[in-house]
Structure 1
Amino acid sequence: MEDNEFDSVLRRHLKNLPEDAELPGDAPLKKYGLDSMQAVELLFDLEDELGVVLPDEMMTGDTFATAESLRRAVGTAVDEPAAEMS
């Protein structure tokens, strides 16, 4: 997964983040306008555009709390199929 792909998908769902602003990895996504409905839409977009599937156990508020926590979850989902093939 390319960071710029992840960032592009995420930024589309953060209505309170100016287009040219930096998104700190530890900033609460709620601060930038991500609510529970948008989190579901974000999840679908991440899965569609990055070709990942987040397991049900990752569908928590902690996963969607910050950009970095979400990036880690998506990274884990990307890495799992490769690990299973070994």
Structure 2
Amino acid sequence: MAELTELTDLVADVLQVPAAEVTEETGAATTEAWTSLRQVQIVARAEQEYGVRLTAREARACRSVRALRDVLARGVLARRGRERAS
């Protein structure tokens, strides 16, 4: 699942900040580099990395590393449930 270290590295790369500066609280409200464009880029990279597609509502909810991790966890678990059912 979306390990915090993996997400930290992904977010740091998109925001172009050191990974040491990225925590679960890093997000639009706490980090100047986290703009709406960067949020779209973070979500797109996370979707690609974890093989999930987020809804527009889920993508908008990803306003921090913690929120992104939570949304990804729900998406990956839901996808696995659908795969098992088929």
Q: TM-score range by the shorter chain?
A: 0.7 to 0.9
Compute the RMSD of aligned alpha carbons.
2.0
Question: How do 1:3-82 residues align onto structure 2 when only pairs under 5 Å count?
Answer: 3=3, 4-15=5-16, 17-21=17-21, 23=23, 25=24, 27-30=25-28, 31-32=30-31, 33-60=33-60, 63-82=61-80
Identity of aligned residues (%): 17
- Which blocks of at least 5 consecutive residues in structure 2 are unaligned? none
Structure 1 segments, 4+ long, off by >6 Å, are none
Instruction: Classify 1:34/1:51 alpha carbon distance in 2 versus 1 (closer, same or farther; 3 Å).
Output: same
Structure with the higher helix share, 1 or 2: 2
Comparing 33-42 and 2-11, the one that deviates more: 2-11
Corresponding residue pairs, total = 81
Question: Normalising to structure 2: TM-score of the pair?
Answer: 0.74
Question: Normalising to structure 1: TM-score of the pair?
Answer: 0.74
